[in-house]
Every structure is written in structure tokens, then in C-alpha cells.
Chain A
Amino acid sequence: MTTHSNVIDVPDPAPGSYNENRIAGKLLQSQSLHLREALIQHLGDVVAVLTIDPRSLKTEGEVSDYIHKATAILHTHASQPKGK
């Protein structure tokens, strides 16, 4: 598929480039704040379902609505990609 002439070498970064102690910039700080906001919203959804007492649900319609909400939250939580 490739010939010698069209293969291009890609150098590695110099040793020591890694620095997990680098001060996080504004972008990463914003990302963290936005994720916190999303967690708060997510928590609100969870609390709304938890305030419902399943023992108070009488009809199949009421129960199915509860199951739907709970399953959606759990599914959302479980479906996050594992990443690399």
C-alpha cells in the first residue's frame, strides 16, 4: 500500500515533556466547572426520582413511568464510554 518514498517519519517528543504538575490553564478550569454544572443537573434528575416513594405507586402507568425515569438515569450513568 505504501512505498518507501511516501513514508514519513514522525518524531517523538523529547523525554521529560510529560508534566502532570503543570498548572492547569483557564481552559481546563472551565472544563471542570462545566462538568460540575452537569453533575449538579444530573443530581437534580436523580433527586427528583428519589423523592418518589415507589410504595405510593398504584397503577401500571405510574409504575412504568417510575421505572422509565430510573432506568434512563441508570442507563445514562452506565453508558459512558470507558475511554482509553
Chain B
Amino acid sequence: MAPAGLDNLKHIVVLMMENRSFDHMLGGLSLIMENGAKKYPKINGLTGNESNPDTQGKVITVQPNAKFQGQLDPDPDHHFPGVDLQIFGGVPPGPGRVGNMQGFVKDYFTQTNDVNRSHNIMSYFTADKLPVLTTLATQFAVFNGWFSSIPGPTICNRAFAHYGTSFGQVGMDLFYLLDPIPSIYERLLQAGRTAKIYYYDQQSSTMEIVNLLKNQPQIFGGFNQFLTDCQKNTLPEYSLIEPCYNDHPGPGGGEILASDQHPDHNVQEGEKFIATVYNAIRTNPAIWESTVLLIVYDEHGGIYDHVVPPVCTSDGYCAKAAETGTGENFNFDRLGVRVPAVLVSPYIPKGTVVPGTEDAANGRIFEHASIPATVTGFFLHGDAKRTEREKAAKSFLDLLSGPKRPDTDIPFFKLRGH
């Protein structure tokens, strides 16, 4: 007999934010003490002693001084060669090379040309600064080992969430479906199921899926429609929500802030957006008990994390040295830097921590191919053309293992002006 959470599950919702590392957003949870002991001992966050050398050889430790805006401008490098420097500390590609996560400050110096400002890449938020993300992480489930799919930028990483592959891309180029693996949306629609991508509005639009925008316009909706669908019990079986990617005027005036949390966009606006998505699901009891919400970041955005990304099953593609910019081919056989990932459902036991690389015996590694893998597994019983990478990716629905928690045990976010 399946757990009650799976029996009741009708909707999987994914909110994919932008460009923040695990340690930057959630690493501070590990430093919270209660009654002389760590309050969250299972979370693989920071000890406070992690460090990187700067370009002058000075040791720079992590600092709890992350700011909501204005600190990571210019945008930290997160393209393939830059991430290679961040992970391997400047050791050139070659056999036996091992990641050490020692190149973040040096790489940020290439953007800032300012030694002091390059230290900002080691900043992290204390939990009180991020009440939404840290509350959800500690009240539901947080993944110690969710990694971006590629040590590179947005477009190729988001592709893994849609297709379980980036079709050989490691950069920001438009990709063409020469050997098409159907997207998770197409798979579901072809099987008579329902799926939607909700983008914020037409000024923000969708990010990387031009192929879908051209060929599958019916799968798109605006964020207001998501809110309405939650109210009216018309949420599709699978939804992906895109935050607002730019500051722009609102309809009829006013100001709409980017909510994606991409540096240098305001992190608090992203917190409000996460809270809005959560509240929309939480407010309708029928949707709340039949929905699981995954909040995840597409990649680390060049910001420090202390966990060395592990190897993974290849998706069968190879990016040539000219495309990687490192002088070495990339076979899509290792993951990118760790990102925050939080799973929300009333059937998840409070305070669940999914172990990652720190637990050799029980650790489970997730990445964005886990999204189509989970959705395909649950709604289509795995019946779809997909990459070996996606087939090997872990599903996360087993975390809905508990009885339904009472409403008194479930947080609710109060937004100003609401």
C-alpha cells in the first residue's frame, strides 16, 4: 500500500529560481545553536571555517554578510571555464584532477578587478534574513545533495529540468532538437495528461525553451493563471513556474521587481515570490493535500559552496574543447555546483534532511534531471524516450512518507499589503 501522500498526489509543481548556491542561502542553518548544540545537525552547511585564497594569497573565510542587493555586482562568472576555476582552484584539466572548491574568489576577481570586492563571493545569509526559504527548508525537506546539472550557466542547466539533457550544450546558445528527446510537457500531453509552464508575464517571458514556445504555445500560461488555477482546482498535473527575470513597469504604472534572485536582483523580492507560490498552494485545502512543491535553483551563479560536485551518468553527449573553453572535452559525466532545493508537502515529516555526499552510506544525489525523471516515473510509469542520465536520476517522491500533518503544524507567510 502506497503512503497516503502518494495516494493523494495529483500535482507536482516546480519553482526554479536563479543563481544562488546552497551555502550562500542555506549554509548558515548549520551554525545555529540551541541549548549548546547544533539546531540542525544533519544539514550539510557551513562550519564558518571554509575559505578560499584571494589573488594575493590571503585566506578569505566565509562571512555572514550577504546583502539582498548591491553586493554581487558585477554578476559573478558562472560560465563553463569560470566554474572550472571555481571547482578546481586553477588546476588545469588532466587525468586525476580532483575538485577542491578553492577558486571562487580568484574567479570573481576576474569580474571585479578589485581584491576586496572579490571576497564578496564568500558571503552567506544568516537564516533570519531569509525567513521564507529557511522556514520551508527546516519545516519540510531540504536536500544536502542537489546539484546543478552542468558546471555552467542558466540555459543548459534549465534544459535538464525540461528534457533531462541539454543536447550537448554547456553554454547559453539556443539549442536545436536535432535528436529530440521530448520535453516533460510534451511527454505528458501526448499521454493525455496535463502540464504547464507558468511564466511571470510577457515582459519577463520564458527563459530557454524557444523550441517549446514556437511549437507548443498551448503549454504556457501567465503567473496570474497559476494563482487562479490554484484557487479553482484547475492546476495541471505538472507545472513549472518561472519567476520574473527583470525589473519592468507594471501594467498601468507601478514597479515590478525581478523575483528570480539572480544577482543583482533583490533577494527579498524572490522570498516574496516563493511565499506567494507556497501560499497559493497552501490556501486551498484540496490543492494543498494533493500537491508537492519543489523549490530549486538552476545553478549556483558563481557563488561559493563547499561541496565538491560528484560524478554522474553521462547523457551520451560530448561538448568539444572549443565549446567548453577549458581545453578539454566535457562528457556530461560530472555535476555542477550544489544549489538549494526544498521539497514541500503536508506529507513530508517535519525537519527532513536528505543526506548527500557527506553520507557515503545513505547519501542520495539529485540534479535537475531528477525533475523529468520523477514526473515521468509518477505520471507515465517511466514510459518515455529519455536519456540514460535521466533514467539514472533519483526520484524524490518517496519523501512523502508521513501522515498528513495538521494545519497547526504548517507555516503560512504573511506578505505586507496582503
Contact = CB atoms under 8 A, between A and B. Distances in A.
Interface in B144-161: 153-155
A34 B75 contact: no
Given A8-B135, A79-B217, A83-B201, A37 B266 contact: no
A24 B246 contact: yes
Interface in A1-41: 1-3, 6-14, 17-20, 22, 24-28, 30-31, 33-35, 37-38, 41
B266 A28 contact: no
Interface residues of A, number: 38
Given A30-B172, A81-B221, A8 B210 contact: no
Nearest to B248: A20
B411 A34 contact: no
Contacts of A10: 131-132, 271-272, 275, 413-416
Nearest to B267: A13
A82 interface: yes
Contacts, number: 141
B269 interface: yes
Given A10-B275, A26-B153, A41-B214, A81 B202 contact: yes
Given A28-B246, A31-B245, A84-B201, A6 B269 contact: no
Contacts of A19: 247
A25 B264 CA distance: 9
A2 B413 CA distance: 10
Contacts of A42: 214
B75 A26 contact: yes
Contacts of A14: 68-69, 266, 268
A20 B224 contact: no
Contacts of A1: 283, 285, 407, 412
23 contacts: A1-B283, A1-B407, A1-B412, A2-B412, A6-B411, A8-B135, A8-B412, A10-B275, A11-B131, A12-B417, A13-B68, A13-B272, A14-B68, A17-B69, A18-B257, A19-B247, A20-B248, A20-B249, A28-B246, A30-B154, A79-B218, A83-B199, A84-B256
